[in-house]
Chains A and B, each alone.
Chain A
Amino acid sequence: MAFNILIVDDSSSIRRLLRKIIELSGLEVDRIHEASDGLEALKVLEREWVDFIMCDIHMPQMDGIEFLRKLREDEVLGRIPVIMISTEGREEIIQEARKLGVKAYVKKPFTPEEIRDVIEKFVGEEFSRDAGPH
């Protein structure tokens, strides 16, 4: 089975870079969806199921923390695991993200290897029980 993934970042360059890293990571991918902020991400999730989300924090309109709050309010969407990828390195924000269920955190700047390692570890931990995505 292949993964459906949502990338949420206001930078189209970072979205494209993450897409490329995922495609080259060896992870079996069905579709990669993109959104430029939390609001757009919620709209994507109204029509598409994704297995996990990679999300920035600093974004216009709806930032990553607000998006996480909205996500957790929903019984079904609230179960989707999230990896945060952000310039935000303040401990209080990282703790807030963790409280909202963020499974892994990558700080920008990042190398492709760092992203690959986090995805590999994250996918191993999150999906090994089901032997794959939903």
Chain B
Amino acid sequence: MRDLIRQIFPEIMEKMFFMVPEELEGGTLMPRGDFVAEITLQGEREITVRILVPESLASAMAKNLLPDEEPSGERLKDILKELANMLGGNLIVSLGSGWKLGLPRVYEGVEAFGLIGGIEPALEYDIDGEPLAIYLEE
């Protein structure tokens, strides 16, 4: 799963948000974030993918996607939902038939940290100097 995400995630960031993620060795950049975008894949087992994103990075993504507007909090959440949706959708294609995609959700604040607290990220990226971490629960 980690390798699949490694193949898929950079393409999403580059095509949709014009950003090139640089994968980091674990622990290089302290994961931090304000939002957690989550999507669940259901098949022979259930896999939940969570993406921890700081507000500043979400805001930069929004400005790259829709340069004409000043992004609101709702816009940031909508974009992160779509990010999770695109990652999940592309993952189930690689996983083969029999997998279903859940609907994406975005959490913030204490609720977000409750989901990832104490868990090691599966992948960490530096995106234009901002950290982004991906967590897997299987």
Contacts and interface: CB of A to CB of B under 8 A. Distances in A.
B13 to A, nearest CB: 8
Interface of A: 11-14, 16-17, 20, 58, 60, 86-90, 92, 108-111
B88 interface: yes
Chain B contact residues, majority secondary structure? helix
Contact of A89 (B85, B90, B97): B90
Contact of A13 (B11, B75, B93): B75
A87 B75 contact: no
13 contacts: A11-B79, A11-B81, A11-B82, A12-B75, A13-B75, A13-B79, A14-B82, A87-B85, A87-B89, A89-B89, A89-B90, A90-B92, A108-B86
Contacts, number: 56
Nearest to B81: A11
A87 B88 contact: yes
Interface residues of B, number: 25
A89 B16 contact: no
Contacts of B101: 58, 87-88
Chain A contact residues, majority secondary structure? loop
B15 A111 contact: yes
B103 interface: yes
A109 B66 contact: no
A108 B89 contact: yes
